[in-house]
Amino acid sequence: MRKILSKILSASAALAAGLVIAGAATGGAGAAEKLKVGFIYIGPVGDFGWTYQHDQGRKAVEAALGDKVETTYVESVPEGPDAERVIEQLARAGNKLIFTTSFGYMEPTLKVAKRYPKVMFEHATGYKRAANVSTYNSKFHEGRYILGQIAAKTSKTGTIGYIASFPIPEVISGINSLMLGAQSVNPDIKVKIVWVNSWFDPAKEADAAKALIDQGADIISQHTDSPAAMQAAEARGVKAFGQASDMKNFGPNAQLTSIVDNWAPYYVERVKAALDGTWKSTDTWSGMKDGEVVMAPYTNMPDDVKKMAEETEAKIKSGALNPFKGPIYKQDGTLVVKEGEVLPDKDILSMNWYVKGITDKVPGQ
């Protein structure tokens, strides 16, 4: 059996590498004057979540700048050595602007960028830049503050269920933002958190939703990518929030709203800049006011709740409200943000603690 297993491992590694190269090779070779723009995705474009929305952004670029650009994408590329090969392949194939759309592509992007100084790179959700590497991200936590308020107003049991993926700062700041929003409406609100340790595993996400509902949660929020939790909530007759895409179709009676990723404005702007020759390495962290974080229509809730959500949304857009505005206390009661101050961006991007009121512990701490 050991022999078979080692064979399996070596063969799968070889085949996986071959698959990636074959995938990259499908990128088209076209007219010379067009700007070639490459995209590398962590998941399949059919995930209806993270990668799906990045691909919608790519399509928006094609729609907006049709005859001036030619786009290529490579999907389902694991983070690690394969990513570097694929990014390099995209650069060698003549792509002048390359979007690398997952956190773990950070080092591979920088390595390839060094070897191709004339190619422009855009890395999503990272924090390391270079002369030809920009970074960009969205403030999804702004939307989660609104979810928290809606949940606290709507919940009858006083318990919000939260399906989380991995304990990284982005997910933890999302949980905190939701909790702060909820506490602004009901100081006694509870949140139950279940980690599924996956971004995308529909059956497991559905199981997590059912477990939370069985334990008394009547509002389900998620930081995973599939609509499975929404569907489970619909089947059990509770309410839920969608993620990445508008999931109303999966929960016609369950969906309160969804936080929709909208990369199109940024992608179109950056490709235009590359066409004009005005592209520069930048660090962009946009949010609701830039239209990158979009709330799906507020549904299945009373008018007063809807009004509150719309008001909060307007305040966040105008800058009058920041979810991480003090006073904010950690679980042990220490004051992290004083009254009248806001938590600096860099502290949000490295957040590894829960706010007061969450009874669970951050995994691994």
89 binds other proteins (CB under 8 A): no
CB closer to other proteins, 252 vs 302: 252
Q: What is the DSSP string of 132-152?
A: TEEEEEE-HHHHHHHHHHHHH
Given candidates 40, 45, 254, 295, which one binds other proteins under the rule CB under 8 A? 45
Quick one: 207 exposed, middle or buried, by C-beta within 10 A (0-12, 13-18, 19+)?
Answer: middle
Given candidates 39, 50, 200, 263, which one binds other proteins under the rule CB under 8 A? 200
In degrees and rounded to multiples of 5, residue 14 shows phi and psi of -65, -45
363 binds other proteins (CB under 8 A): yes
48 binds other proteins (CB under 8 A): yes
CB closer to other proteins, 5 vs 31: 5
79 binds other proteins (CB under 8 A): no
Torsion angle in degrees (nearest 10) through CA of 317, 319, 324, 328 = -130
CB closer to other proteins, 246 vs 269: 246
Amino acid code (one letter) for 341: E
Given candidates 27, 38, 43, 174, which one binds other proteins under the rule CB under 8 A? 43
Torsion angle in degrees (nearest 10) through CA of 52, 141, 150, 252 = 0
Task: Note the helical H segments in 161-302.
Answer: 169-183, 202-214, 228-236, 264-276
Q: Name the minimum Å distance from CB 130 to other proteins.
A: 32
207 binds other proteins (CB under 8 A): yes
Could you tell me which stretch among 206-214, 261-269, 293-301, 313-321 binds other proteins (CB under 8 A)? 206-214
Question: CB of 150 within 8 A of CB of 257?
Answer: yes
**Any idea how long the chain is?**
365
208 binds other proteins (CB under 8 A): yes
212 binds other proteins (CB under 8 A): yes
Question: CB of 256 within 8 A of CB of 47?
Answer: no
193 binds other proteins (CB under 8 A): yes
Contacts with other proteins, 162-191, as mask; x by CB under 8 A: -----x------------------------
Placement of tokens 């999931």 in the chain: 247
First to last CA, the chain: 38
Q: Is the dihedral of CA 227, 229, 235, 237 positive or negative?
A: negative
**Number of other residues whose CB lies within 10 A of the CB of residue 337:** 19
Check residue 310 and report its DSSP letter. H
Question: CB of 223 within 8 A of CB of 194?
Answer: no
161 binds other proteins (CB under 8 A): yes
156 binds other proteins (CB under 8 A): no
Given candidates 62, 201, 341, 347, which one binds other proteins under the rule CB under 8 A? 201
Q: Say how far apart CA 209 and CA 243 lie, in whole Å.
A: 14
CB closer to other proteins, 352 vs 359: 359
Given candidates 78, 215, 297, 302, which one binds other proteins under the rule CB under 8 A? 215
CB closer to other proteins, 62 vs 360: 360
Please report, as ranges, the residues that interact with other proteins according to CB under 8 A. Answer: 1, 4, 7-8, 11-12, 15, 19, 43-48, 52, 76, 161, 167, 192-198, 200-208, 210-212, 214-215, 217, 226-228, 231-232, 235, 245, 249-250, 359-361, 363-364
